[in-house]
């Protein structure tokens, strides 16, 4: 394992970060609410994909108090398309706890619904300058390569050990900048495939590079084989309205969302017109969705007509949005 001095790593990394980095909107603020929103959105999601959602979300809910006052369906509608909807529900739930003032300690932040070790450390360091190392997937990869450690980064024990390493490297005087620099290095230089070692400020002290093992570190976790699924959604229009059904409460992560019906949810689909086909992926499930348009005389009672002009304010599933756009309905 590498014995590179922590002070050397921090100094090189901070100089590199100060010389230039991505201009991301959440880096222009120390407001803990806005940093919290960004960190929750960035979980499992690329920064460039988050930017429009982050900006739209803060326009609608500029403060924790505004978010707390909103209904869950309004929050989900604004989040729709970003996925992992438990994040939005936890954010909404926690907003009521911080509306009167955001907690200023790591432990209090860590106690908020949906906030884990990484998110708490990121908020504490960036918003309040507290000396906590924030270790996400990008940082785990950087640490594994710098120390030439081939341990399984999916293991809780490895993650705990790596967090200890990051904590030793952390410059407590610039903890927020250090955490962002380390995350930036993993996101833009120390990439999973084809890392840009020639652009890395730490290449001279990288143990994996010195050993010629960059491509073998970290250990690549076994992925679940993709499952291909064929599906069909039906668009039924009538007098400026479209037919939908709503997922019931307690039905999992998509509870409360509105969906276009499948043929099996309709009594009959006479002479359907094929509008198009699109692909949709949820984790390892790869859907090929065919979109029909049809005229239905007697829809089932479980289905409801929703006005097209109101769809922007309703929590629609991403698959339904994609199908509607194929049919020329702007959502």
Query: Which residues have a catalytic role annotated?
Result: 39
Question: Cβ distance 104 to 73 under 8 Å?
Answer: no
The separation between the first and the last C-alpha atoms of the chain, rounded to the nearest angstrom, is 52
What does the alpha-carbon distance between residue 34 and residue 252 come to, in Å, rounded to a whole number? 27
The DSSP bridge partners found for residue 230 are: 288
Burial class (CB in 10 A: 0-12, 13-18, 19+), 25: middle
110 backbone dihedrals φ, ψ, rounded to 5° = -60, -25
Contact yes or no for 228/221 (Cβ under 8 A): no
Could you tell me the two tokens for 114?
Answer: 């949906």
Let me know: does 45 contact 79? Beta carbons within 8 Å.
no
Q: Which two tokens stand for residue 207?
A: 């143990």
Q: How far apart are CA 150 and CA 145, in angstroms?
A: 8
Q: Rounded to an integer, what distance in angstroms lies between the CA atom of residue 58 and that of residue 285?
A: 31
CA atoms within 13 A on the CB side of 304: 10
Burial of 302 (0-12, 13-18, 19+ CB in 10 A): exposed
d(CA 298, CA 206): 67
In the DSSP assignment, the letter for residue 11 is: H
Task: For residue 286, count other CB atoms closer than 10 A to its CB.
Answer: 13
Report the distance separating Cα 37 and Cα 39, nearest Å: 6
**Using CA atoms, how far apart are residues 223 and 196, in angstroms rounded to an integer?**
24
């Amino acid at each position: 394992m590498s014995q590179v001095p922590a002070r050397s790593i921090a100094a090189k990394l901070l100089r590199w970060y100060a010389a230039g980095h991505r201009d991301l909107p959440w880096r222009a603020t120390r407001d803990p609410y806005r940093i919290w929103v960004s960190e929750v959105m960035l979980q499992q999601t690329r920064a460039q994909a988050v930017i429009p959602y982050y900006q739209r979300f803060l326009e609608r809910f500029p403060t924790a108090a505004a978010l707390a006052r909103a209904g869950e369906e309004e929050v989900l509608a604004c989040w729709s398309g970003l996925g992992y909807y438990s994040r939005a529900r936890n954010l909404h739930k926690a907003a009521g706890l911080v509306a009167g003032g955001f907690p200023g300690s790591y432990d209090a932040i860590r106690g908020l619904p949906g906030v884990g070790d990484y998110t708490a450390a990121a908020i504490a360091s960036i918003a309040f300058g507290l000396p906590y190392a924030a270790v996400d997937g990008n940082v785990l990869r950087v640490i594994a390569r710098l120390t030439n450690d081939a341990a399984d980064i999916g293991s809780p024990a490895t993650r705990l050990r790596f967090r200890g390493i990051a904590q030793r490297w952390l410059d407590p005087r610039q903890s927020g900048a250090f955490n962002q620099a380390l995350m930036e290095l993993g996101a833009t230089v120390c990439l999973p495939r084809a890392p840009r070692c020639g652009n890395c400020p730490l290449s001279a002290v990288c143990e994996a590079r010195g050993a010629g093992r960059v491509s073998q570190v970290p250990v690549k976790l076994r992925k679940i084989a993709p499952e291909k699924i064929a599906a069909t959604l039906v668009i039924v229009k009538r007098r400026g309205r479209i037919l939908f059904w709503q997922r019931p409460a307690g039905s999992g992560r998509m509870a409360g969302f509105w969906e276009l019906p499948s043929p099996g949810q309709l009594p009959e689909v006479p002479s359907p017109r094929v509008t198009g086909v699109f692909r949709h992926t949820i984790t390892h499930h790869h859907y090929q969705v065919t979109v029909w348009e049809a005229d239905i005389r007697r829809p089932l009672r479980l289905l409801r007509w929703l006005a097209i002009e109101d769809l922007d304010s309703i929590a629609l599933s991403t698959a339904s949005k994609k199908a509607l756009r194929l049919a020329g309905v702007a959502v």
